Structure 1
């Protein structure tokens, strides 16, 4: 079979692997097509590093395998991108910040290595919000530049894993890895019409599904995790299964599924986002899904007592630990902070260096976080819920602020609020409490911008959550490709 360029670009991760395993598509042809696509769309700033020679060499190795050997590789020949704060051996891991530009670790993060061992090919590193401390991916470092939304390059793609999301949405790759501290896989997924998973973290022990110690330029060991991103939830399940060695998704019946609608996370939405989200509810309800409004009146207060104090306090010690463990060219957090390019990130690092939340940290970690976790767990149990559902973000993509990186936004003419606060409101509780969260496309606004729906599940229920997401995406359908 001869594959046209358009046919190759349209392949999902699952389809691409099947085509390569069956011998219908050569990995070298596929990688060459995607490398050309990356070069043609370089103005989107999705990537910070493109590994042409390495990717083609890896593709040739896949093509040289027998059919039986390829069949043993669940990701045979699958090109992926890796967010620029996740360690990759021999490839830059700069976290989008000038002090780490050009630094290449000597080993891969475990999550990356599991993908490679399964046959995946790292095409390059993905741009991001500098040091992952933001949700716009407007990186003002000269070597990176702002990531641009493929549906409208004047708009943000979300962040901090914006480069991974844009590479996937723009058909540069079918899948990749991001990281998530407060919403950084799910927010860009929502704004680019793709899918993103934040896996369970819990309290960091056996409950943590992805283990990448000192292999990601961090914000918070309590909250950080690597997460897969793709164009479909089915592809997320494929990557998640490889990284965690999980079995097939559990069987699922939609009729009678009980899904909670948290009232606070449905309030104050942009009208065009709410219209799309409500239409999706109608479609799902017609298939037998039961929606249960849940008050969750304490959710925002409990989350606010945990979120900032943990992230700001842990960042200093955790970044230092990464620098030391990886023999980085800079030795202190102050050295990194002195060269930060983006004003919004510089302001946050002023707080990190001053440890402005240090006095609140013990209570946030040991009192308020357990209360938040218990509150969410009780909601699932008392209401007999399979998942919570709400719009991933309160609003669709907004214009790039290439002066500050992030400033303020207004939702339908309401008083302006901080951009990060506006976009984090709905994603942050899952991050803070450590439960799994999944964003999938819900549809498009009348103005042609993607809208995401988030599903949160009980701790450890990741595979069932993915099964629900797969069933929902089959009903809601894919969003149109960006007009590139």
Structure 2
């Protein structure tokens, strides 16, 4: 029986792969359906490049495989999108900025290549906040434009991986890749009702879960990582397993889990976000989850000593190293910065070029970051916690600012605060400390906007964190598709 378009669009990544592996669904038909969806929803600005010919050719190759070989491919025929700062062979990788519009890598980033080797098909490149330095994905570069939230196109989808999140929420693809420096997979996941994962980074050595050296337009080698995004936690686990070679998730149940609630990350929330998050807590507690209140009074102060100095100082060397190693169209950070289109990103790069926080960098990296890491690790150990839990963002999606890219927001009529600071507050500690973080859907506000809950786990416990996420999602459910 032929698949209807609606049935194909509803497939999760795991379901789509199973259907293609079994021969019940043609990879070519599925790719064609999603390519048509992408064209029909181009006004969302979720994608910067659509590889129609390449995607269909790859799908035909999957369909031509013997059934036994197709069944062995973990991602057989799965269409994905890849954030526009991650290298993709033969496809533009501009990081959303004019100076890199003509840059086309010759090879895939290792994380992309592992997915492709497993049978995934790159449908195209996803739009993003310019140079990944923002959380709205309001890109003002002429070739990109602002990404729009599928649940309300007048609102931001979050960022900087907003294009990947919007494409997944809009059913253009079931999964994709983003990057995360301060919250850039998790914030857009929260605002679009999808799932975003930041894998362990630790101190960047053996603790780093994903390894993509010089294959992602960088901000900070200490904080940057590629991360998978999808509509379900099971789909995140599928992609993570392919990228890392990890086995099945550990078995666990909700009953008996000890989940910490860091008080600073539950304060100052928008009322509609807090209502949804607290309702989710009641359901979790009723299912046997032990919710452990945590003061964590030092968390915000320690994090403040680490995050900014690293993120503002490291681009000077990291971006330059990437430009030189990849024979980029511009050869200096200053030349690239001179062509930045978005005022908010230009202001950040002014601080980068001035090395405005350089005097604080060594202490941030070598004194305060270890203290933050020790503080978080001790909290997990002393309280015998399986994870920390809190709203991914303090507020739901806000209107797009097409003049500045990002300016200020007000939470329930409070004094205006910087938009990036408001949305980064809860996601940043995982980024600065290098632990894994997962955002999944908690529910929707009365006005129909998604709300996300974030689970952070101990360093290196990524697969167990994903297993907890699967159990949470089984209880809380997934969100209905946006009406488009």
Task: Note the C-alpha offset of 1:253.
Answer: 2.1
Tell me the distance in 1 between the aligned counterparts of 2:381 and 2:446.
38
Q: What is the correspondence of 1:39-58 to structure 2 with a 5 Å cutoff? A: 39-58=39-58
Deviations 1:25-59 (A, max 9, x none): 00000000000000000000000000000000000
Tell me the distance in 1 between the aligned counterparts of 2:320 and 2:482.
40
Deviations 1:43-91 (A, max 9, x none): 0000000000000000000000011101110000000000000001110
Name the residue aligned to 1:476: 476
Tell me the distance in 2 between the aligned counterparts of 1:461 and 1:282.
26
Tell me the distance in 1 between the aligned counterparts of 2:253 and 2:269.
30
Tell me the distance in 2 between the aligned counterparts of 1:381 and 1:478.
31
Tell me the distance in 1 between the aligned counterparts of 2:106 and 2:352.
28
Q: What is the correspondence of 1:307-386 to structure 2 with a 5 Å cutoff? A: 307-386=307-386
Q: What is the correspondence of 1:70-469 to structure 2 with a 5 Å cutoff? A: 70-469=70-469
Task: Note the C-alpha offset of 1:94.
Answer: 0.1
SS at match of 1:306: helix
Tell me the distance in 1 between the aligned counterparts of 2:46 and 2:326.
25
Q: Which runs of 5+ in 1 are unaligned?
A: none
Tell me the distance in 1 between the aligned counterparts of 2:477 and 2:102.
40
Tell me the distance in 2 between the aligned counterparts of 1:92 and 1:357.
32
Name the residue aligned to 2:3: 3
Task: Note the C-alpha offset of 1:480.
Answer: 1.0
Tell me the distance in 2 between the aligned counterparts of 1:233 and 1:249.
11
Task: Note the C-alpha offset of 1:328.
Answer: 0.8
TM-score norm. by structure 2 comes to 1.00
Tell me the distance in 1 between the aligned counterparts of 2:343 and 2:27.
42
CA contact (8 A) 2:255 2:289 kept: yes
SS at match of 2:212: coil
CA contact (8 A) 2:21 2:76 kept: yes
Task: Note the C-alpha offset of 1:14.
Answer: 0.1
CA contact (8 A) 2:256 2:288 kept: yes
Deviations 1:287-332 (A, max 9, x none): 1000000000000000000000001000111111111111111111
SS at match of 1:131: helix
Tell me the distance in 2 between the aligned counterparts of 1:57 and 1:93.
21
Tell me the distance in 1 between the aligned counterparts of 2:102 and 2:60.
27
TM-score norm. by structure 1 comes to 1.00
Q: Which runs of 5+ in 2 are unaligned?
A: none
Task: Note the C-alpha offset of 1:363.
Answer: 0.2
Deviations 1:332-372 (A, max 9, x none): 10111000000000000000111111110000000000000
Q: Count how many residue pairs are aligned between Structure 1 and Structure 2.
A: 484
- The alignment's C-alpha RMSD in Å is 0.4
